[in-house]
Chains A and B, each alone.
Chain A
Amino acid sequence: MSARSFRPVMSVATVAVAALGCYLVSLRVAAERAGLEEVESRIVLAQRDIRTLQTEIGTRGRLEQLERWNVRVLALSAPKADQFVDGGYQLARLARPTDEVDLTAPVVLAAAPKPAPAQPIATPVADDDADVAASENATQNAPAPRAAPASGGPASMMHVASYRVSGREEPAVSTARPLSRKSPAIVSATTKPAKFATVAKPPHLPGTGHDAKASSHAPAKAGVARDEAPH
């Protein structure tokens, strides 16, 4: 037979192959569905097992049993009121490092360089300790060559800011008094005008930062003598 006569056969064959292909597809779909259901049933079985195990754990670890263990062994209790903090900052504050004093470190006494020999004082004063205000006023208008209170060592380190009222008359001048008779805070008024007068390095600023008193005086005198080197 010639090829032409195969046409109906070929068409039938094509249709048959198409039909078989559809059938294959549907078979594939069915297989996937079966696989899905297999998985689902395994899920259900696993859920059942999980439930059984949870029941067992729940019974073995029931609260009454935990309480018994707590009473006998663990002895845990609720935290008290002072064990609660407000937030991270408070917690960090609780854990901040504290200042430790090293007891084995050598003790260094505060020291200051020996003051330069100062000019002699004009007139020594003889008033008593209590008359601070008078002495303060007294030194306001002291004449220029009022020298720095001499080799009056500690007294020369004293300086207390005073409110100068210009034009006020000052009584007699007082010199530096020995420090031991006064508290350190008392004005040693003679130093102040001396500072105005001289350009010399003030002896009361030792040049190191150890002396707290000196450093507190520094701002008061900063405007006074700028050539000072505070530290």
Chain B
Amino acid sequence: MSSAREQIFAKVKAETGDASLPDDLDTAFAKLVDQSDTRTSHQSLRQFENVVAEFEERTTEVNTELHYCSKAELHNALVALVGQASVYVAPSADLPTQGLNNIDDGRGVADFALAMAEAAIAETGTVVVNSHNVPSDAMYLFDHLVVVLPVEHIVARFEDYWQNYRPADEFTRAIHMISGPSRTADVEQIIQLGAHGPRRLSVIILNQSG
């Protein structure tokens, strides 16, 4: 008696099998992807006049609080934002956190979490972190999430992020695309910020000068 896997695969093959494709799975897959225009078709979508301005508009729409500073000013900006409240700093954040009330705690006891974004996507006002650089729970367990984003890492569209930052053959367990603080509309469709994830999201855009 064949297994569930065999039966399902046999049915899928009967309906969608293509004898003209190479036998080798990797080659067949690559051939199919090459035949499609999926890598480039997003380029026919409207071009943003200014990618950073687009990001700013979209991210403000989703209740993200935006700040700007230069690299030199970053420490002051962090102190101004966090003050003496407790803060969990994501390892490998490589941020100037001296003098802040660092708590090395991964379970939501601190008031703030602080992390470095890998990139940001303008079309939806989204910051992106991944599990190589940031522990996943840091993004969700703290009331106020602060993300530092170098301005040169803002790209226009999702496809640009994938193609410039995450090669497909490099394994990444988790990639988190975050657009604002958490929210729900499950009570009478009234939007309420602060569901299970952070109640507030602040993004500090680091401009290139200094």
- Judge: A and B partners, yes or no: no
Seen from chain A, the residues whose Cβ lies within 8 Å of a Cβ on chain B are none
Seen from chain B, the residues whose Cβ lies within 8 Å of a Cβ on chain A are none
